[in-house]
Structure 1
Amino acid sequence: MQRLAMDLRMLSRELSLYLEHQVRVGFFGSGVGLSLILGFSVAYACYYLSSIAKKPQLVTGGESFSRFLQDHCPVVTETYYPTVWCWESRGQTLLRPFITSKPPVQYRNELIKTADGGQISLDWFDNDNSMRYMDASTRPTILLLPGLTGTSKESYILHMIHLSEELGYRCVVFNNRGVAGENLLTPRTYCCANTEDLETVIHHVHSLYPSAPFLAAGVSMGGMLLLNYLGKIGSKTPLMAAATFSVGWNTFACSESLEKPLNWLLFNYYLTTCLQSSVNKHRHMFVKQVDMDHVMKAKSIREFDKRFTSVMFGYRTIDDYYTDASPSRRLTSVGIPVLCLNSVDDVFSPSHAIPIETAKQNPNVALVLTSYGGHIGFLEGIWPRQSTYMDRVFKQFVQAMVEHGHELS
């Protein structure tokens, strides 16, 4: 955003003029303090523009996909200007839920049955007022997958729906079993390695609107689930394209990073308690399968997965589950265009685990890697309430695929 760079330079110039013409007395009766403030401000602006604001790294497995993105999704090649007062990874991650707005969305809920007798809660935003796609049968549909314990109420999901509404699209949010307030009918929850529920949802949505362009976007664990599905099914999917944001590429590396003392304190323990709370609501369903008292004593996501998730889905060990859950191992099998946005400072997904070389082997894959942004952060602007860099990537990519996706075939 060149405008932000110009704003910073203008701010420094205006501050200098203010000090020269308006301020007669500085800190504690002298001009020394204000001179220091001016010097620091100019130095910080120079540091920010030279070291913080950078263009993302675009890694693609094919020249045609790279040209397509540069022509129709230019945001992935433009300089990303993180919020000047909050560009550090943990700060971006922690502040986004509190800073960004939550656009009002009226959902239509649908409960669909699964083969094992369970049910899945879908929240629809039909966008029946769409002026661009008045025919509901051909209105583009975006399937949204929230993160680990997220639902359709998350701010990043609401922003995606708001942007889709502007484009005239319809959205449907896939809430994992047992997290959106619906009853759990069978002793089964969810994990990012098992794609059966996602396959059920995709088949159901496509059967309702077979003539509509169909895309998907997954955030964090939702993105891991989406990539694992695409890696398993290849090109035999009704989805025409997909996007993922802040995906954990290697589950072992994610766990190791989140178990570092500060990261455990800020993120790991809190997420563990959220997982425990979500399964404790349905405690009576699991007592024959797992030791729920032992599960409730877990102090980390890894311990929770070892005591609950891996047992629930029949893995022999936690290592077996984490190996199967890592989407990097299936990336070469993805058969449709996929854009994956990650920040290299994301403590949930450390940079050394991002599969850059693997992505280069698949012409359908594009990685967009920013230097800053944290985990589902990507804050930009002085007060990043209405939009983030992630939002702009989402909007431009889905629009590009709906309107120009035929150019890739």
Structure 2
Amino acid sequence: MPDDDFLSLDWAPDPGGPVVLLLHGLGGSSRSAYAVSLLRALHAHGFWAGVMHFRGAGGEPNRKLRGYHMAEADDPREVVMQLRRRYPRRLVAAVGVSLGGSALLHALARDGGETLLDCAVAVSVPYRLPIAERCLNRGVARLYQRRILEEMKRQWRRKCRVLARLDLCSGLDEMRSFRQFDARITAPIHGFADADDYYERASSIHVLGDIRVPTLLIHAANDPFMTPDGLPAPEDLPEQVVLECHRSGGHVGFLERAGRRYLARRIPAFLSQHLQRDHDRR
């Protein structure tokens, strides 16, 4: 990366088609069930698909204190621009899941009049983080929070050992919520005043109107991370952005009969439709 740090990408075999970059969720990686399923499906449809691990994810601590957060637009943009330079004849798309979807929407919105990507898909995004933070502290969502928080703490401990900054792990064992982790680590390290400032400024609902790339938003009304009133309204969406809201599907679930995954069917279909259109125009 330009700041002498690094991040890692895991790639499926290259069948020669367009490039699709997958951005994982909080505490996720290329080994997450949704990532494995999507990589297989995208490869089967002729895409060259890879997972971009945010800094410190993927099992290897990065060299800087900087990690990743809901509005992390710089690193996905840098990776996409490098892909564009290395493979100038290929179309490039991206799929973001949960936090990765939020980061992707911020990256697309920051692009302005330029075309960062040819098209994009964002799945199960917590569009309004103050609402998501409240949802995570009730019902079944608390189980998600506990599991992901433990992985975040493990990643932070590994990073502190690599950086010889064990002092930064003070109070980590006592953290029981994302808010505590974000107030102590995420917000101050990434330039936010506090957790409330982070949740407000990093909410992707504020940037949707700036997106100019064909983008599909996939969400479920029963997502435990977000109540339906937190979803984008029609007036929040520009012409190029479409929200597909399902009655059920949970958080990055969307399972169909016989264990099939709707995302593994819908996402390649959307990408094929728009990338073929772009290819024909060229």
User: What TM-score does the superposition give when structure 1 sets the normalisation length?
Assistant: 0.65
What runs of 5+ residues in structure 1 fail to find an aligned partner?
Answer: 1-113, 134-138
Contact 2:13–2:43 (Cα < 8 Å) also in 1: no
Alignment-derived partner of residue 53 in structure 2? 175
CA contact (8 A) 2:136 2:225 kept: yes
Partner of 1:180, secondary structure, is coil
8 Å contact kept, 2:140–2:224: no
Pair 1:146 & 2:19 matched:
no
Alpha-carbon contact 2:120-2:214 (below 8 Å) kept = yes
Counterpart-to-counterpart distance in 2, 1:344 and 1:234: 31
1:358 Cα deviation (Å)? 3.4
- SS at 1:342 equivalent: strand
Q: Note if contact 1:241-1:401 (Cα within 8 Å) is conserved in structure 2.
A: yes
Q: Number of matched residues?
A: 281
The question of whether the paired residues in 2 share the 8 Å contact of 1:235 and 1:336 is answered with no
Partner of 2:148: 271
Q: Distance in 2 between matches of 1:125 and 1:235?
A: 31
How far apart are the structure 1 equivalents of 2:219 and 2:125?
Answer: 7
Larger RCO (CA under 8 A, 6+ residues apart): 1
Residue 267 of structure 2, aligned match among 366, 377, 394: 394
Does residue 208 of structure 1 match 2:86?
A: yes
The residue aligned with 1:8 is none
Residue of structure 2 equivalent to 1:363: 239
1:160 deviates by 1.4
Deviation at 1:328, TM superposition (A): 0.6
1: CA distance, partners of 2:214 / 2:26 = 24
Shift of 1:408: 9.6
Q: What root-mean-square deviation, in Å, do the aligned CA atoms of Structure 1 and Structure 2 show?
A: 2.0
* Match of residue 9 from structure 1: none
2:34 to 151, 156, 181: 156
Give the distance between the partners of 1:209 and 1:349, measured in 2 at CA: 38
* AA matched with 1:141: V
Q: Aligned-pair distance for 1:217?
A: 0.4
2:8 equivalent to 1:116:
no
Q: Percent identity?
A: 27
Q: Which amino acid aligns with 2:247?
A: S
Q: Is the 8 A contact 2:160 2:168 kept in 1?
A: no
**Aligned with 2:174 (options 275, 293, 297):** 297
Give the 4+ runs in structure 1 shifted more than 4 A: 405-409
Q: Deviations over 1:27-47 (max 9, x none)?
A: xxxxxxxxxxxxxxxxxxxxx
3-state SS, counterpart of residue 376 of structure 1? coil
Correspondence for 1:19: none
- Judge conservation of contact 2:77–2:116 (CA < 8 Å) in 1: no
Q: Is the contact between residue 331 and residue 358 of structure 1 (CA under 8 Å) also seen in structure 2?
A: no
Change (3 A) 1:184 1:388: same
**How many Å separate the matches in 2 of 1:251 and 1:178?**
22
Q: Which of 1 and 2 has greater Rg?
A: 1
State how far apart, in whole Å, the 1-side matches of 2:232 and 2:75 are: 26
State the secondary structure of the residue aligned to 1:230: helix
In the other structure, the counterpart of 2:198 is 321
1:240 corresponds to 2:113: no
Equivalent residues of 1:286, 1:292 under 8 A apart: no
Q: Which residue pairs with 1:259 in the alignment?
A: 137
| Partner secondary structure for residue 374 of structure 1 | coil
CA distances 1:217-275 after superposition (whole Å, capped 9, x unpaired) = 011110000001111213423310000111110111101001115432x2222221111
In structure 2, distance between residues paired with 1:407 and 1:253: 42
CA shift for structure 1 position 141: 0.5
Distance 1:363 1:222 in 2: 22
In 2, Cα distance between the equivalents of 1:397 and 1:218?
A: 14
Pairing 1:345–2:222 present: yes
- Asked if 1:125 is matched to 2:12, the reply is yes
Write out per-residue CA displacement over residues 270-302 of structure 1, whole angstroms, 9 at most, x where no aligned residue.
2211111111111233738x7422233210111
1:281 equivalent among 158, 165, 172: 158
The one-letter amino acid of 2:117's match is: L
SS of residue paired to 1:281: helix
Residues in 1 aligned to 2:226 and 2:275: alpha-carbon distance in whole angstroms? 29
In structure 2, stretches of 5+ residues that fail to align are none
What is the deviation of 1:181?
2.3
What is the CA deviation profile of residues 363-397 of structure 1, one whole-angstrom value per residue up to 9, with x for unaligned ones?
0100000011100111111x31xx21122111210
Structure-1 residue corresponding to 2:256: 380
Deviations 1:288-322 (A, max 9, x none): 8x742223321011111111100111211211111
Letter matched to residue 251 of structure 2: H
Secondary structure in 1 aligned to 2:216? strand
Structure 1 residue identity aligned to 2:141:
N
Q: Normalising by structure 2, what TM-score?
A: 0.93
